[in-house]
Chain A
């Protein structure tokens, strides 16, 4: 069955520290994968996407993600977080043009 797992419900990171949010997927073919961010009181905004080609994809706001087929993972990274990055982050998988969503990871930034 197709699924997306975000193992971490919450992650706390100090401002200026690096960040990695985990995403694992289950899908029978080459996946189309996405990361979205939801700031408090806002809708979801697309950070980046992977369709094919280069396995390291760059997104907005300084985020990047690496697709690893052998590990069925698509982890989101940022080298240095800012307080404005505090939000909820969702990983999603395209399945026949419908999105399957992970449960989300809430990022908390410590000053």
Chain B
């Protein structure tokens, strides 16, 4: 069964900590995405990656960075977590140009205290 796996379902971190959110897909997809989901705001794109070592800023990249050293893994990094980064984070992947085949992980609910 193909899937996108996010390493943590819940995370609690302190302000100022460096936080890593990991996402792994087993479908050999080139494209991977990080979204944050907040009530009433839908999904907002933080970063995406077209392929290994390639990354593009999305709509809200401030305060985040990403790493894609291997095709199957796309990491989201909060260099210095802040309370306004408390949110649900969703990872997704797909083949290029196949919007209808975007597959999501179950999400990581991050709380920054």
Contact = CB atoms under 8 A, between A and B. Distances in A.
Nearest to A49: B100
B102 A99 contact: yes
Main secondary structure of the interface of A (DSSP, over half): strand
Chain B, interface residues (CB within 8 Å), range: 20 to 34
B106 A42 contact: yes
Contacts of B40: 9, 103-104
B106 A102 contact: no
Interface stretch (A11-19, A66-74, A90-98): A90-98
Given A9-B40, A102-B42, A43 B99 contact: no
Interface residues of A, number: 22
Interface of A: 4, 6, 9, 32, 34, 41-46, 49, 51, 90, 94, 97-99, 101-104
Q: Identify the 7 closest CB pairs spanning chains A and B, nearest first.
A: A43-B104, A101-B42, A103-B42, A101-B43, A94-B99, A44-B104, A43-B106
Given A43-B4, A94-B99, 13 more contacts: A9-B40, A32-B100, A43-B90, A44-B92, A46-B100, A51-B100, A97-B96, A97-B97, A97-B99, A99-B99, A101-B43, A103-B40, A103-B41
